[in-house]
Amino acid sequence: MSYDINHVIVRTLEASISAEDLRELHAMIRSDPNGMWAPSGNFLEDLYSGLCAVPSATELRLVNFNWSGECSGRGYYDFLLEVVAPKIRGLVEVALLWPDHISGLQIRDGIWFDCDVALTLAPRPRSKP
């Protein structure tokens, strides 16, 4: 049984990455013979798909923070947190749904924090039939 992230819920995504850093990360993903650094569908690949003629100094706004599916658990600490997060500027706040728990991640200007996730239920008023 794999231990991968099932789903990512984005709370805040006000962040960017430089085109130069994105190119470097994409090359790392592509050079990994075992495909262990990043899940096949991830926000880096999504952003890279339209990068061809963009100057290296350009800051690219993150439009999603997809990091789930096969290999997402394996690459979470060693690649996403240790290699990718330091290159992200701005604020990312997400809840990660693992097979047996929910964890939180905050990236603030390249520094990442594990976060507790608090879920609350608030009863809604009943509508009258």
pLDDT, tens digit (0-9, with 9 covering 90-100), for 7-55: 999 999 999 999 999 999 999 998 987 767 889 779 998 898 877 777 7
What pLDDT score does 124 carry?
87
Percent of the residues in the chain that have a pLDDT greater than 70, as a whole number: 97
Can you give 69-104 as a three-state secondary structure string? CCCCCCCHHHHHHHHHHHHCEEEEEEEEECCCCEEE
Confidence (pLDDT) at 22: 94
pLDDT of residue 61: 95
Contact criterion met (CB below 8 Å) for 66 and 8: yes
pTM for this entry: 0.87
Phi/psi class of residue 39: alpha, beta or left (left: φ > 0; alpha: ψ in -120 to 50)? beta
By three-state DSSP, how is residue 128 classified?
coil
Query: Per-residue pLDDT for 2 more than 80?
Result: no
Cα–Cα distance list, 54 to 44, 64, 73 (Å)? 15, 19, 31
